[in-house]
Structures are given as C-alpha cells and as structure tokens.
Chains A and B, each alone.
Chain A
Amino acid sequence: MAEPVDAASGNQDGDLTSEESEGRLRRFLRIFGAVMRLVWASKIAVLGLVIVLFWVMMAIFAPWLTPYSPTAQDWEAPGEGPSWKHPLGTDELGRDLWSRLIFGARVVLVVLPITDNFWIPGGTALWGVLVSLIVGAALGLMGGYFGGWADEIIMRFLDAMMSIPVILLYLIIVASIGASAINVVIAIAIVGAPGIARLVRGLTLDIRTRDYVGAAVTRGESAWHIMLMEILPNARGPVIIDAMLRVGYAIFAMGTLGFLGLGLPPPSPDWGSMVAKGREFIMMGSPWAALWPSLAIASLVVGLNFLADGLREEMNRYQ
C-alpha cells in the first residue's frame, strides 16, 4: 500500500514540501527503521521474520546453493534418503529434493513465470495478494466512501462470493481457466479480494468521518483524490498486516492446488505436487519426498503468521 504515498511525493514536481527536502532515501530509511523497531520489540515477530527471510534468501540464491538442476534426474539414486551427495535425498526419479525445494520457493516468493522463457520478479503468492489487494481496496473504498446503492451492490456481490467455500472457488477458477502460474495469481486474487474489500470498507467508514476528509471535501477535492490520497494511506497499517497473513494463505492455496494437480505443470518444482507425488512412497519407506515440501509450506505459513501477529500486537500496544 505504499503506492499512494509515493504518488503523493511524485507529483510535487520538485517544488515543495518535506518529502522532497527530506530526500527519498532518508524517508525510506526512517520508515524502514520505524518498522524494524516494531518488529524488534516483539520476539514472535522476530522469529517470523527469520523464518520468512530464510526462505526468501534460499529462493533468491537457489541457483548458487545447489549443484543440481531441479529437473535433472539421477538414475543411480532414485528414492534415496539424505546423504552427502543429496542432503535431503532424492525423489522417485532421482531428482535432488533440496534443489527442487529451493527452486520451488522461487516460484512462490521470487519469480512469476509467465511463459516458459519469460518471468517477472515477485513470486506467484506475492503477485496474487497484490492483485487482490488492488481489487479489494478499490471495491472497499468505493463501497465505504459512496455508501448507499453502490455499497449495497458491491457488498452483496462480495458476500455471495464469500459464501462459496474457498477451496471450491479455487478449484472452479483454476479448473476452468487452466493450470498455470498466471492463472494461480488470478485465482488467488479473486478469492482474496472480498475479504480485503470488507476490511478496507470498514476502515473507510471510520476514516471518512475524520475532519481532514471534511477539509478535503470543502476544498472541492474529487472523490478519487479523497479516497486514494486522504483515506487509503491512513488505512495502510491494518491492510498491510492483513496482506501478510494473506500471503500465507496464498502459499497454502498454491500447495493445495499443486497437490490436486492444478498447480504448475510438471516437471517444474512445485511444493504441492511434490507432496502429491511423494505421498505414494511414504508407505514404501521413503517419506522424504513428501516430508520436506510439507515442512516448507508449514514453516513459511507459520513464519508469516508470526510476523503479522507480532507486528499487529506491537502496533496496537503502541496506540
């Protein structure tokens, strides 16, 4: 939710005001410092941050952290447990599990593959949450600010969407538009938007009664200016916390879709499909292929929850 703030300082055209004179970098450092102090004050948030950073680092530096390609098959060692050669073992085709695990984290957190050769930075889960944030915030702002019929229509429509079980909604969407990273982003966005819209609407209803919104109205500002520049920036705290939790849910959803065979198409390393495939070999004495990706999903989701909860608690105590 940093866009509106940046836009605000962007259209000042170098003429005036603090954002300019303070300098972008210093401003960023100041805000970053404030956030870090908040995280630091809560042990649970620090733990969460450590877990999340671990996975982010693994994902970014994946190509340098393993000699194997995630798709390279070693026919001499299929379905092995941890060894010096393969630290986490191999799957039934002899692919290195460590390599598949950290390349799988890449898709979740660092790159969004659009075609086979083209990808953009930012993981699938992050993009999904970002899109749902944009859609949800726009709907919530409009509903909360305009009220009346606009609000009724938007909220009833979203209520209808929320009445469908989440997993069913994912299945319907992905099954109908096909399994690919970009479609998973779309599914996450559609499923996440109603919840964010509700949150933003609630905050908007509160913030629109503040005197500074009244001042903007008496200045003859447009509704868009008021929603994006006056209201949205002040709703950012709870929205950012909510978004963090939602990244966790999105990772969870990606795992579920992969498990059901609706995730990234094979042979790409997808945590969910790794669990699905590895599941077959648990009873045959080789639990490793299912264990590691399950642990990865669980630890990342728990880490994000710790971080978000710790931050929320610390922010509330601050007030």
Chain B
Amino acid sequence: MTSKPADAETQLLEVENLAISYETRHGDVAAVRGVNFRIGQGETYGLVGESGCGKSTIAFGLVDFLGRNGKVVDGSIRFLGQELVGRPKKELRDIRGNQISMVYQDPMQALNPTLRIGRQMGEVLISHQEISMDAALGRSVDMLQRVHMPDAGNVLRRYPHQLSGGQQQRVVIAMAMLNSPKLLIMDEPTTALDVTVEAAVLDLIGELKAEFNTGIIFITHNLGVVARVADYLMVMYAGEMVEKGPIEAIFKAPTHPYTQGLLGCIPRLGDHKSSCRLEAIPGRVPPPAERSQDACIFHPRCGFALDDCTLSRPEPVIVHQQHQVRCLRTAETSKMREVSCRDLPAVDTVAGPSLKGDPPETLLFVKDFKIYYEHRSNSLKDIFGKRRKRHIKAVDNVDIKLRQGSILGVVGESGCGKSSLVRGIIGLEAISGGEAEFLGVDIAKPLGRREMEFIKELQMVFQNPDSTLNPTYTVGYQIARPIRKFNTVHREKQKAEVYRLLHSVKLGKYYAKRYPRQISGGEKQRVGIARALASRPKVVICDEPVSALDVSVQAAVMNLLIDIQKEQGTTMIFIAHDLSVVRFLCDYVYVMYLGKIVESGPSDIIYAPPYHPYTEALLSAIPIPDPKAKRNHIRLEGDVPSALNPPAGCRFHNRCPRRTAMLPDGGLICTQQEPPGQDAGAGHRIFCHIAIERLASMESVLP
C-alpha cells in the first residue's frame, strides 16, 4: 500500500501497526497484532476470517468500544488525518461525532424493543444536530424509503418486534446512514438473515455505497458475501493479517495457505460428493494465549509448513502490486491457484442410490403429514373458549419418502417448517394428522408410546453445538449412555465401542475423558454424531448440524457425514438452509416453503431448470465466492407470510416473481387452487401451476 503516497490526504481511514489486547485473569492477551490497512473515500474493505480471528475486535477498536478490559496497546488509527489513539474519550466523541456508524449482526439487539422506530431514528438526528423532532422524522421517512422499506411512514409508528428480521436490519442500516457517515462499519450484517433476505440487504448495501460515497468496513466469515460487496479484502487469522489486496486479485490468485483453505472448504454450487471432496483445514484457531510470537502463526495447520516457518514470524511479502501475503512459502503456494474441492477418481464410490436400476428400499415415509400448533392469545374470547381455535400450520400435508442408504435434504428459509417436520418424525412434536411409517411400522404417535426397538433405529443430531452435550458429563459417558441403554454391545466391550465410535468421528481416545467445555464447537458436533450413531440406528436425522460452525469446521463435519454414509450405509435426513451444502451432501432434496413441499427430486436435477419459482429465487440468492460471477437477479418481494394465516391457493403466490408473466390472467389460478404436483421426470416433482415445459425454458441461475 506504500505505492501511492500521493493520495494520502484523501484516505478516509489509516490503520498502522494496530495491536489490541484484553486483560484477563491470566494477564493480558493479544487479540490483534500488527494490522495495517487504509480505506479511501467510498471504498469497501472486507475483513474475513474464522471466529476468534480478531475481526470484530478491530471494529470495536476503531470506535473505542472495546469494553472495560480491552485496550489499544500499540499503533495508530487516523481518521480523516486525525489520530484517534490516545485521545481522551470526550475528544474522541467529538472527532467521530456522527461520522462513523456501526451496524451489528443481530438487528433485534441493536434496536430498543420498548421504543417506536420513529423515536429511535429521530434521536439519532437530534443528538447530533440542531433539528426539530418533526424534521427528524421527515428525514427518517426519506431514509427508510431509500433503503426500500415498504410503507415507510407507518414503520415509524411500530415497535421493533412488529417487523421481520430483514426489515429490522433495513431500519438499522437506515439509522446508520441518517447522518451520512463517512465510514460505516458493518459487523456480520447479514449472518443472522435468511439467504433471500441476505441477498436483498447486500443489493441495498451496494446501492448505498454508490449513492453516498461512504467508506465501508465489512466484516464477515462468508467469502461469498464479501466477494459481492468489497473492493479490498483482508484475510485475518488469529489476530494477524495473513493476506490482503484488491478483491479480484485475491480471488484470482489466493496465495496464503489459509485463504486457499477457506476457499477450498466451501462447496461450490454444482459440486457433489460423488465427484469431489471438500478440503477442510485441520486443527483450529489457537486461543490468544497460545499464539506464538516468533513463528508463522498458521504453521501448525499449514500443508506447506517447513522448519523455517517455526523460526521467525514472516513479514508481509508483496506478490503483486497491492496484494500482500504474510507467508514464507509464496513461491510454492502461488502454484496452487486452483482451489476448489479436490476431485475424486471417476469411479462412483458413493454408496448412495443410483438413479438406474431398482429403486432402493423405502425405509421411512410420511404421507399427508401435518403438524399444527395451537395458537394462543390472551384475549378474553380465547380464555373463555369462545373463539374458534386457530392453528399455526407448521407442516401441512407433506409427503416424503426416505430410501435406504441415501441422504435426504430438506431446504427452506427459517419458519418453513423443516425442523418441525423432522421433530414430528422422530417424535419430539405431536403429529396432528397423516401417516408415518418406519420400517413398515406406524410411528405416527408420541415417542413415549413407541417401541424401544424403533426408537433405537431413529436418532438425531442437533443444531447447536453448545447445547448438544450435557455439560455435567464427560464425552465418553455421554456416548456410552445409549450403548448401555440399548445394549448394543456386551458390558465388557463398552469401552472399546466408545473408542470405536470416537474413531469413526475422527476423534482420539483421550476425548472420552474430556468435558464438553474443554472441546471446540466442531468437536462437540462430532461427539453429537457419535452419540447418535451409538445405538447403531438405521436412520440419523441431522437438524442443521453445520450451520452454527465455521466454514473450515463445517467442511470437516460434512466430510465426516459422507464417510459415515459410505462406510456404514447409514441413511440420513439432513436439514439445512444453505443450498450449496445440501447440493453437495444430499442425494435427494425437498424444498419447503411455508409448511409445504414445493419441489422435490434428486439433488443434481433440482439445481438445473425446470425450477419451481421459489427454488429459482433461493438459488439466485446464494452468495458465490467469485467477484466476477454474473448471475440472474431474482429477488423475492416482501416477507414470508404468517403460517397462522397462509395465502390461499398456492402459498407462494403473493411473492412469486414468475406468476404474472408466465400464466394467463396474471396468475389468477394461483390465488384460488393449490398447485398440482407435476412430474418432470427422473423422480423430480414441482408443485406449480406453470407448465413444466415453460419452467424448463427458464435460464439456469447458476454460473
């Protein structure tokens, strides 16, 4: 970055040699060390890395919001030429004033739930400018309209809980933009949002960037997201910059082994487990106290590391103009330009069902499956039972077939009923209607009345790694519990069985003695899988097991699931909201929207036309880690309607982007009749009124 000293005056933010530490009981630990970057006016700077790499710490350091135990210990931060480090708080407030804004990950926590939106937005203006409340509200409405908030005038009178997550994030962004800040810091602004909402918010950020000439620091762990919005990119690892440069340069020629690893462990749309394997980065980010001072910080996890990597801390090397890498082995690593997932030999080694030959045995099916929750409100009418009972139709008339040895994926946005569906199948939710049969036996009854031998055959892996294990007991005890419960092996062999299960999830024997708090999120999830496998079930249900994990760990867990399917022939139901993960992992896919299946079929077929319009929109919204990818732009209007009162006819009709163009009468039929299941061949079904031929004529939304 030293190449252009001439335009130093125009730099918005210059950070030099920044180091931030936190005080703990065991002394100070360095969270960020020696970070340099510059942001020009109107530029977007992406910060990427796994959790615990110091991205957010940098952001909080910039706005002096490190909390009681954090402090900037070294370096300088110059904002519009003024030094920020070392100044008293009062002066900092004046300098920063209204020129730096911040957008956080969770909009629900950024908004005060007890105040109306208008009041909260107005305050932002009043506290920084001489302006009346009326004028402030007027400006707020303007700003809400600019972030494409429908019905902006009314939104001011609402409370945060009356808005959806996507709308809340729009409000937060509008609030941050109200004072036309010079610098906007966005800390994972889309991570908590659904993929279609995320796409819309990213579009919005792109627009605002062009319109306001605001410099943006964009923090994310998702390389696909950053590829869409950033001009420059800095990859952080364990508190250090490992690679930085213009976004195209990094995506074209990722040079640091960590950057290559991050790119290699996300499945590209179109990758499938039968053709390639994800490259997970081994190990995990070291905790701040264990980071070495005088060696390459990445060497323990690096495939290129040689002895000299452990001897000194590498200085940044300029690979190409502004592209810098902190690595000693750039000569070797730069040859590894092609970093997608590793190709497997052409032989189909996956034990999954082939589409040719006899269809494999159906292990489990549900038909007309319904899960309704009773809606309770506190009105007097309800208390006296005068009103007709209302139901939230979480799952409504769903048919699913699970074939032996396959992985079945269920995809959809949050609130589509995918979790309720599997919880109903396993017996954690009461079933309101329909049939469910497992191994030829009716299981449409609560878990307490099921036979032990069927309970044993159907086990579950849970979503949240932090609550999947009981903190009281050791890993070994928790894996041993189902073994004892179901008597899968003789008493004397229990220990060996626990070790075998640990081994099958690629964990060493010594993990048996550890407590959940002593292991990382990815390891907890592996233990969760081992516990589910301990009863030797025929079917394992995985409820978003990878969505709370970092990308590198996610790849390892997915590889593990594939290996288990291959080696043990376990059948799985896999729920996810990430379509590229489902595409990679699953053999069959069901797409759900508002309690209904809208499309189903083998995974490779679903991802190519003909699409259901909803699937098309979902696919088009996936962020792809390639800044140059040009794609069809399909965005859904509005929010997912309430399942309490779903739209009549086709539940998707009020958001369907294809209806008016592709059907006569502007798609009147969609509002009146439920769509028929149309057969598109090879087991592919689409529930839509638009004829298959017309759907097939649509362009592929994948690059």
Contact = CB atoms under 8 A, between A and B. Distances in A.
Given A211-B464, A219-B481, A21 B513 contact: yes
B467 interface: yes
Contacts of A217: 427-428, 447
B491 A13 contact: yes
A245 to B, nearest CB: 23
Contacts of A22: 513
A8 B467 contact: no
Contact of B460 (A12, A19, A218, A220): A218
A16 B472 contact: no
A69 interface: no
A210 interface: yes
B460 A17 contact: no
Nearest to A21: B513
A276 B493 CA distance: 66
A218 B513 contact: no
Given A17-B476, A214-B462, A219 B468 contact: no
Interface string B508-538: 0000111000000000000010011001000
A21 B478 CA distance: 15
Given A211-B464, A212-B467, A18 B472 contact: no
Contacts of A13: 491
Nearest to B513: A18
B556 interface: no
A221 interface: yes
Contacts of B468: 211-212, 215
Interface in B193-225: none
B426 interface: yes
A217 B426 CA distance: 10
A214 B512 contact: no
A233 B469 CA distance: 13
B477 A15 contact: no
B494 A220 contact: no
Contacts of B491: 13, 15
Nearest to A209: B467
B464 A8 contact: no
B473 A218 contact: no
A220 B455 contact: yes
A18 B474 contact: yes
Interface in B450-477: 450, 452, 455-456, 458-460, 462-464, 467-477
Nearest to A13: B491
A15 B492 contact: yes
A212 B470 contact: yes
A217 B427 CA distance: 9
Contact of B476 (A18, A210, A212, A234): A18
Contact of B426 (A15, A16, A41, A218): A218
A230 interface: yes
Given A220-B455, A220-B485, A16 B467 contact: no
Contacts of B447: 217-218, 220
B241 interface: no
B477 A230 contact: no
Contacts of A230: 470
A206 to B, nearest CB: 11
B480 A16 contact: yes
B477 A8 contact: yes
Contact of A220 (B452, B462, B463, B514): B452
Contacts of B481: 219
| Interface residues of A, dominant DSSP | helix
Interface string A155-195: 00000000000000000000000000000000000000000
A219 B485 contact: yes
Interface string A212-230: 1011011111000000001
A19 B485 CA distance: 18
A234 B513 contact: no
Nearest to B470: A212
A5 interface: yes
A17 B474 contact: yes
Interface string A9-52: 00011011111011000000000000000000100000000000
B482 interface: yes
B483 to A, nearest CB: 9
A234 B491 CA distance: 28
Contacts of A214: 428, 460, 462
B470 A17 contact: no
B23 to A, nearest CB: 13
B531 A218 contact: no
Given A215-B462, A230-B470, A15 B495 contact: yes
Contacts of A210: 467
Nearest to A230: B470
B485 A15 contact: no
B53 interface: no
A16 B428 contact: no
A38 to B, nearest CB: 11
Contact of A212 (B469, B474, B498, B514): B469
Given A212-B468, A219-B482, A219-B485, A17 B462 contact: no
A5 B472 contact: yes
Contacts of B469: 212
Given A17-B512, A234-B471, A218 B459 contact: yes
Interface of B: 25, 426-428, 447, 450, 452, 455-456, 458-460, 462-464, 467-478, 480-482, 485, 491-492, 494-495, 498, 512-514, 528, 531-532, 535
23 contacts: A8-B472, A8-B473, A12-B477, A13-B491, A15-B495, A16-B498, A18-B476, A18-B512, A211-B463, A211-B468, A211-B528, A214-B428, A214-B460, A214-B462, A215-B528, A215-B532, A217-B447, A218-B427, A218-B428, A218-B447, A219-B455, A220-B450, A230-B470
Given A217-B428, A220-B456, 12 more contacts: A8-B473, A8-B477, A13-B491, A15-B494, A17-B477, A17-B480, A19-B474, A41-B25, A218-B459, A230-B470, A233-B473, A234-B471
